[in-house]
Amino acid sequence: MLATVFCVWASNQQIVPFGKNNQLIINSHTGTFSIKYNGKLILVNATAAYTNGNDKYQTGDYIKRTVSIQPINDKLGSGKLLTVTSSRPGVPVMKQLFYCYTNKDFIVTELEIDGHSLSSNYMAPIITNHANLYAGRNLQTLFVPFDNDTFIRYQSTALSNEVNTSSEVGVIYNGVLRKGLVVGSLQHDSWKSGVKSAGSNGVINRLEVFGGLNEVAITRDSMAHGSLKGDQIRSPKMFIGYFADWRKGLETFARTNSAVDGRFCKSWHKATPVGWNSWGVIGTKLNYNNATGVVDFFDKQIPSFRNEDGTAYIDLDSFWDNMVRGGFSGDFSKLKDFVNYCKERNLQPGVYWAPFTDWGKNGNRTAEGSNYKFAEMWTKTDKGYHDLDGGRALDPTHPGTQARIAYVLGKLKDCGFKMIKIDFLGHGAVESTRFYDPNITTGMQAFRVGMETIDKILDNSMLIYAAISPSLATARYVHMRRIACDAFHSIKDVEYTLNSLTYGWWQTYIYDYTDADHAVFEKENTGANRARLISTLITGSVVLGDDYSKPADWQPQIKEWLQRPELKALIKSGKAFMPVEPGLDGSAASQFIRKATGGTYLAVFNYKKQPANVVINVSRLGLRAGKKYKLTEVLGGRDISLVENANTTFTQEGACLYKITSN
């Protein structure tokens, strides 16, 4: 039975409890709000702000307010919705909405403006000049990228008076005490959202959570965020939570995001995907012979490397059209032969495409599937066009773009592919001076149109795997997402991938699966190859990337690792590992852990060329102090005992993956 929610009205204050022992406090006179956790003020006198055209308004600009409270019962639970309505002659009505749940230790809030012919490209439900974590002076603030393009990195830096701008979600935390404040957007269908933070000496003196983020280094846009229009405009719903462990806070944010934002495509209920992708080594030289050679390797050389469904995916990346004669209107029979070759060996054929990019230079070319010219379909910006990664963005709302998507995906469906890797999706989310559909006015609205077009055409016929893509917004439309970009083989690539896992592992709760990109082993030593394989295992799924159509001296070791029985058990859940500690100076964490029904696993890394000892601390792993544990290496090697602290000794770069059992 849910507890009864009592609302306290004292002078100008309205107090609404939420969670276990927390309070939302509204000042009905000023319109500001504060939040208490266990009697301590975390957020103090926060306000809201928005733009309408060229005018900007904030809470303090209003002179009259009313407060209403009503019961709610939605996907997140039961509780109270508190609405503060602010009015003033000649300006839009402003409504601040607060969703307080009896069973949740966080608040969801959004901002609404009502009027006539409104236009806004900035709405901030949360702005405060004072917040406190009661976690000492050494606080960190996290930068979360909008996407995984251009080898961008997550960055955790010391909280200072220099403003940090993070995309979609922000975290301020103490890495030792682990206390943290998590704030961010729960909806991504209309707005790009941001979190700005600054402070010093353990006190946050600027926190701004808003829809309307536009910074070229983050969102890639060369122009302002588009404006939403209408008689009623709402910001994204925003999450506010204070947690004893910032890591649990991010996982709670992710699960809440998934519940609120929902899914457009159906969830993937089959086994965790494993397999191979051609881009890692074969790349532009892809052809029928080397592709089927890889199939033969999977069939004969690694028959035990399969998921719980007893299969694996063999994915043709870019340049699969080397097997097509006469272009998209030509002969696809060789591709169909490849598909059948896979299926006859109980392997699932995969393919690749980038739906929102034009790689040609001549705009007078006719696009596949229609009579439109590519120049008509290019996304228009106030700088001309949007070019990134060598590709020009296509307007997802244009009928030519949509016809082309239908035509190409129709061809691939007809071939019988069961998986598709879709790439450069951020090109479909750029802001434009004018989309073809006049009802679409922001990049995220256009992205929604494009992704829904893809999902409707595929109609749940394939596993959809996103490569370069928006980090959070893509989750509604795909099953699986690469967590980092083009990480191939070296220990440097391992560290880059695991930087994204250190601060983005929680995406495992908004996607069916996350993925570390193709694992390439050629040309590397045993230590680096162990690290590369383990990095994929702890991200959620395993996709190989070497040219297995020809034998190589490094393959016997890889074959032995891939077919260990414990790997199949480890892959089964498909869930990513959590960092034990944040990384140092922006680098990846050195230890990751996952607790599950099948056991507790710990991954330990040394990213340096020289020998190293990595200390494993029982209490920081969340294990029982004083109890003795046995750590067994999953890939084979030296097992160790652990009571309080123990060392994992590396003679060179590398990694160990342990299964932890009581001893």
β-strands 348-353, 419-422 pairing: parallel
Residue 430 domain-assigned (yes or no): no
What's residue 626's pLDDT?
86
What's residue 458's pLDDT?
98
Residue 340 domain-assigned (yes or no): no
Give the tens place of pLDDT for each residue, 576-628.
999 999 998 789 999 999 998 778 999 999 999 899 999 999 999 999 888 89
What's residue 613's pLDDT?
92
What integer is the mean pLDDT of 89-103?
A: 97
CA distance 379 to 427: 9
What integer is the mean pLDDT of 177-182?
A: 98
Residue 387 domain-assigned (yes or no): no
Looking at 216, 242, 261, the residue that finishes a domain is 261
CB-side neighbour CA atoms (13 Å) of 575: 15
What's residue 11's pLDDT?
62
Give the tens place of pLDDT for each residue, 191-214.
999 999 999 999 999 999 999 999
Give the tens place of pLDDT for each residue, 393-412.
999 999 999 999 999 999 99
Looking at 261, 289, 313, the residue that finishes a domain is 261
CB-side neighbour CA atoms (13 Å) of 353: 22
CB 587 within 8 A of CB 495: yes
Count of structural domains within the chain: 2
Minimal CA–CA distance to 402: which of 340, 456, 476? 456
Q: Please identify which residue in the block is written with the tokens 């602290």.
A: 645
Confidence tier at 487 by pLDDT (50, 70, 90):
confident
Give the tens place of pLDDT for each residue, 217-271.
999 999 999 999 999 999 999 999 999 999 999 999 999 999 999 999 999 999 9
Confidence tier at 5 by pLDDT (50, 70, 90):
very low
The answer to whether the predicted template modeling score (pTM) of the entire model surpasses 0.85 is: yes
Looking at 198, 231, 261, the residue that finishes a domain is 261
What integer is the mean pLDDT of 8-17?
A: 77
Token representation of residue 590: 């050195």
The CB-based long-range contact list for 79-83 (8 Å cut-off, 24+ gap) reads 79/5, 79/18, 79/103, 79/104, 80/5, 80/7, 80/16, 82/7, 82/14, 82/16, 82/24, 82/26
Residues paired with 56 in a beta bridge: 51
Residue 439 domain-assigned (yes or no): no
CATH no. for residue 622?
2.60.40.1180
Residue 271 domain-assigned (yes or no): no
CA distances from 442 to 53, 214, 215, 541, 652 (A): 15, 11, 15, 34, 50
Q: Which helix (H) or strand (E) holds 424?
A: none
Helix and strand tally (H, E) in the chain?
A: 11, 42
Give the tens place of pLDDT for each residue, 533-557.
999 999 999 999 999 999 999 999 9
DSSP 507: G
Confidence tier at 6 by pLDDT (50, 70, 90):
very low
- Residue 74: pLDDT above 80? yes
Give the tens place of pLDDT for each residue, 289-323.
999 999 999 999 999 999 999 999 999 999 999 99
Q: State the SS3 of 68-115.
A: EEEEEEECCEEEEEEEEEEECCCCCEEEEEEEEECCCCEEEEEEEEEE
Residue 256 domain-assigned (yes or no): yes
CA distance 7 to 16: 5
- Residue 149: pLDDT above 70? yes
The alpha carbon of 663 is separated from its chain's Cα centroid by a whole number of angstroms, namely 37
CA distance 558 to 584: 31
Give the tens place of pLDDT for each residue, 340-362.
999 999 999 999 999 999 999 89
Compute the mean pLDDT over every residue in the chain, rounded to the nearest whole number.
Answer: 95
Token representation of residue 245: 């462990």
The domain of 79 spans 8-261
β-strands 40-52, 55-58 pairing: antiparallel
Residue 257 domain-assigned (yes or no): yes
Residue 164 domain-assigned (yes or no): yes
CB 60 within 8 A of CB 129: no
What's residue 4's pLDDT?
37
CATH no. for residue 219?
2.70.98.60
Measured over the CA atoms of residue 395, residue 398, residue 402 and residue 408, the dihedral's sign is: negative
Residue 186: what residue type?
A: L
CB 569 within 8 A of CB 596: no
